[in-house]
């Protein structure tokens, strides 16, 4: 049986029980209880996506989401709940229309990329220059795209590790800036997605310094394939209207909440996900699920009895437009001692693999984590690992990372589309995520040995 403390045990007015009066949590039992019966993660992601909806960075909606988050984690008994704000540029979507002109006249379905420039109210009409790959665009001569709409195609497919997002995502992240530098008037990309629904996948694009933003949008995959067929038949001319705007500086913020441990000198474990979403949907898998999973897991560990290390949960703001929350947090907390940092931001499907960058001296802890994760189907890997956008800056500052990699076979069907909604979350796989994070958090929060190394020594790559 798991002994659950009543909520009041965490409230400020309740006297803490002496540590010796409570048994220490058993990570394996906590894991199994989460797998069998967790409802809190679903409750959080259902509540956030229903009551707040979309949460575009640095907008009124994201501010409402922070207020919602503060109320939620306070009600759950977290301590030291507060918002850490920062300023950042605001980008807002406008109208978006595209149509093929001439004998095959037809509309195309598209969505502006984050940071897209505007055509202005009057549509832009231009001929299409087709590039089968991002590399083909890179190889095109300087000035060769003058006045044209560059159309960047690619061939991303679904894999369990989602690794193709790195390679094919370049078409979205850097493609528009490169096309603009060669004279393009606008850019269309095939959505960085693996579905064949007519939903475009938005996402941020990054302009090189001094590059004036041009209109840039993603076509749904079927619309991109249609445009490829048209281009093969001969020259294509498109009329395009995109009216997004840069709306100056705005406020975003990170919501920070702690579950205190018994030994403040032992360092903290940092977990979380991101609170903001793109504006096309309610951000259920990206990343309502991630904050729900890590928050539910942290609370399970805390409710089970005294734990040595403080568990800090952060609901990061403004991840989507470029990791503003993660950067602000690392800067504000450079003096904190975290022994391990990790985030959940690959959807809500099951965890299948984990890796850490714990120092060699902590191999016994890593072995214990591996043993705790093996019974729920999670294997261990050593390869070089990315631990995520939000904890990345903290990890680069010298904190060991932990990554719990989720199956991404379905993720890029919905990622950044109007279809990132609650119904895409499988409650059973969501519970397996909570079970995995519960085991990791418990192992680290309870570990009797010292973890990590001084910040100056333990520089992660």
Q: In the complex, which residues of this chain contact Zn ion (CB under 5 A)? A: 286-287, 345
Give the integer Cα–Cα distance in Å for 302 and 260.
8
Tokens encoding 17: 């029980």
Q: Which one, 286 or 419, has the nearer CB to Zn ion?
A: 286
Closest CA to 111 of 38, 210, 218: 218
251: helix, coil or strand? strand
Q: Are 150 and 187 in contact (CB under 8 A)?
A: yes
For the bound state, the minimum distance from the C-beta of residue 380 to Zn ion, rounded and expressed in Å, comes to 24
Phi first, then psi: give them for residue 454, nearest 5 degrees. -55, 145
Phi first, then psi: give them for residue 111, nearest 5 degrees. -140, 140
Q: Which one, 38 or 345, has the nearer CB to Zn ion?
A: 345
Pairing assessment for the beta strands 96-100 and 124-131 based on DSSP bridges: unpaired
Give the integer Cα–Cα distance in Å for 313 and 298.
8
For the bound state, the minimum distance from the C-beta of residue 274 to Zn ion, rounded and expressed in Å, comes to 5
Q: Which one, 170 or 227, has the nearer CB to Zn ion?
A: 170
For the bound state, the minimum distance from the C-beta of residue 58 to Zn ion, rounded and expressed in Å, comes to 16
Give the integer Cα–Cα distance in Å for 257 and 70.
8
Q: Which one, 230 or 422, has the nearer CB to Zn ion?
A: 422
Q: Which one, 286 or 413, has the nearer CB to Zn ion?
A: 286
CA angle centred on 299, ends 420 and 304, rounded to 5°: 145
Q: Which one, 175 or 326, has the nearer CB to Zn ion?
A: 326
For the bound state, the minimum distance from the C-beta of residue 406 to Zn ion, rounded and expressed in Å, comes to 11
Closest CA to 391 of 327, 312, 335: 327
For the bound state, the minimum distance from the C-beta of residue 414 to Zn ion, rounded and expressed in Å, comes to 12
Q: Are 108 and 100 in contact (CB under 8 A)?
A: yes
For the bound state, the minimum distance from the C-beta of residue 22 to Zn ion, rounded and expressed in Å, comes to 36
Q: Which one, 98 or 284, has the nearer CB to Zn ion?
A: 284
Pairing assessment for the beta strands 79-92 and 110-112 based on DSSP bridges: unpaired
For the bound state, the minimum distance from the C-beta of residue 284 to Zn ion, rounded and expressed in Å, comes to 11
Give the integer Cα–Cα distance in Å for 249 and 436.
39
């Amino acid at each position: 049986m798991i002994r659950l403390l009543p909520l009041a045990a965490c409230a400020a007015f309740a006297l803490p029980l002496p540590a010796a009066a409570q048994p220490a949590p058993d990570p394996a039992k906590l894991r199994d209880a989460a797998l069998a019966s967790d409802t809190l993660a679903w409750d959080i992601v259902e509540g956030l996506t229903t009551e707040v909806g979309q949460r575009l960075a640095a907008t009124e909606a994201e501010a409402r989401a922070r207020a919602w988050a503060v109320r939620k984690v306070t009600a759950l008994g977290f301590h030291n709940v507060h918002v850490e704000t920062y300023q950042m540029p605001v980008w807002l979507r406008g109208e978006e229309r595209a149509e093929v002109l001439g004998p095959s006249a037809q509309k195309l379905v598209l969505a502006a990329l984050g940071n897209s420039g505007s055509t202005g109210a009057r549509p832009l009409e231009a001929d299409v220059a087709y590039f089968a790959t991002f590399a083909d665009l890179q190889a095109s001569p300087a000035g060769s795209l003058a006045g044209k709409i560059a159309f960047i195609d690619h061939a991303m497919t679904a894999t369990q590790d989602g690794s193709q997002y790195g390679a094919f995502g370049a078409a979205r992240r850097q493609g528009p800036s490169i096309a603009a530098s060669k004279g393009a008037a606008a850019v269309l990309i095939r959505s960085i997605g693996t579905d064949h629904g007519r939903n475009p996948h938005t996402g941020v694009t990054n302009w090189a310094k001094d590059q004036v933003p041009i209109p840039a949008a993603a076509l749904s995959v079927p619309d991109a394939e249609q445009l490829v067929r048209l281009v093969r038949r001969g020259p294509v001319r498109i009329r395009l209207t995109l009216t997004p705007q840069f709306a100056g500086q705005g406020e975003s913020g990170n919501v920070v909440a702690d579950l205190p441990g018994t030994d403040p000198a032992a360092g903290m474990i940092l977990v979380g996900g991101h609170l903001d979403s793109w504006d096309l949907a309610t951000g259920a898998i990206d990343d309502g699920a991630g904050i729900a999973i890590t928050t539910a897991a942290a609370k399970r560990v805390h409710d089970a009895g005294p734990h040595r290390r403080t568990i800090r949960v952060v609901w990061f703001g403004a991840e989507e437009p470029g990791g503003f929350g993660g950067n602000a947090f690392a800067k504000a907390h450079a003096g904190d001692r975290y022994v391990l940092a990790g985030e959940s931001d690959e959807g809500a499907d099951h965890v299948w693999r984990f890796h850490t960058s714990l120092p060699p001296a902590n191999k016994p802890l890593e072995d214990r984590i591996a043993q705790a994760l093996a019974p729920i189907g999670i294997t261990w890997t050593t390869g070089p690992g990315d631990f995520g956008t939000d904890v990345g800056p903290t990890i680069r500052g010298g904190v060991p990372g932990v990554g719990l990699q989720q199956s991404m076979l379905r993720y890029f069907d919905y990622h950044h589309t109007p279809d990132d909604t609650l119904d895409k979350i499988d409650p059973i796989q969501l519970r397996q995520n909570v079970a995995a994070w519960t085991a990791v958090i418990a192992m680290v929060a309870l570990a009797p040995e010292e973890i990590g190394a001084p910040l100056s020594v333990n520089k992660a790559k």
